[in-house]
Amino acid sequence: MSALPTSSHTSVSSSTGPARASYKAAEAALAQARKDAKAARAAWLADESAAGDDEAHPLYVADETALAAVDAAEVALAAARDVLADSDEPRAFTFCTDDGGEMTVEATSMGDAIDLAADWACEGDYDAIESTIWVRVRIAGEDGTESAFTVTINPDEPECDHENGHDWQNPIALVGGLRENPGVYGHGGGVIINTACLRCGAGRTEDTWAQDRATGRQGLESVAYEPAGTYDVSALSSEVER
């Protein structure tokens, strides 16, 4: 089940410019050519009276002609697709993610499609995430263009019960570690930084060498939170500012 919304951002309009119309026509022409070729081949194979090597046989010639028409239709379709890709006409772009999220929108360029895809990916239901996740989005245009990028989604910071909100700090009595750098621990090529809210006792863990387990990519930044009361702030000495 994807975390991503599947409703459409922009209604897929029926607006079709000349380049898109040509592309659609070329698509239909190719489908027809393939159908014709199949029929021509079947007719040639069904004629058992003809010698297999009779290249002058009308059904053989028709088969060859139909195959050539398919080739020509494929070339025409590729050309029409390139024209559409270079145009600024509305056309379909489909977004998808690894967890099965998918949506199709209309946009007039890949750049616009990327903006829409980024919005779409960020609007997912991520309430359940406990630490940073990376959502990979792939885009495939009707015009044959493709793109891919990754959106970083951080978990929401928990609410603080103090009216002034969290006060994230790193007193050694709470977060441990070295006196000169409390709460900081080496992790791969980076560090893990633990901080505590001195008001509600919530915890925050930042990792500057996080890994996206889906892709194996390292050296990313992630954040995770622990709920209020995780740290016993009442144990702090009175010299710590509350």
Q: Which residues bind Zn ion (CB under 5 A)?
A: 160, 166, 197, 199-200, 202
Distances (CA, A) of 51 to 26, 61, 67, 229: 35, 13, 20, 89
**Minimum distance of Zn ion from residue 236's CB (angstroms):** 13
**Minimum distance of Zn ion from residue 224's CB (angstroms):** 15
Residue 184 one-letter amino acid: V
**Minimum distance of Zn ion from residue 163's CB (angstroms):** 11
Q: Are 235 and 215 in contact (CB under 8 A)?
A: no
For Zn ion, give the closer residue by CB, 27 or 161. Answer: 161
**Minimum distance of Zn ion from residue 172's CB (angstroms):** 19
For Zn ion, give the closer residue by CB, 160 or 224. Answer: 160
Q: Give the C-alpha separation, 142 to 144, whole Å.
A: 5
**Minimum distance of Zn ion from residue 182's CB (angstroms):** 18
For Zn ion, give the closer residue by CB, 29 or 160. Answer: 160
For Zn ion, give the closer residue by CB, 188 or 229. Answer: 229
**Minimum distance of Zn ion from residue 200's CB (angstroms):** 3
For Zn ion, give the closer residue by CB, 205 or 211. Answer: 205
Contacting residues for 176 by C-beta, under 8 A, at least 6 apart: 182, 183, 194
- Cα–Cα nearest to 96, from 145, 46, 50, 148: 148
Rounded to 10°, the helix 18-46/58-86 angle is: 160
For Zn ion, give the closer residue by CB, 20 or 166. Answer: 166
* Strands of the chain, DSSP E: 91-97, 102-107, 133-141, 146-153, 168-169, 177-178, 181-182, 184-187, 190-197, 203-212, 217-226
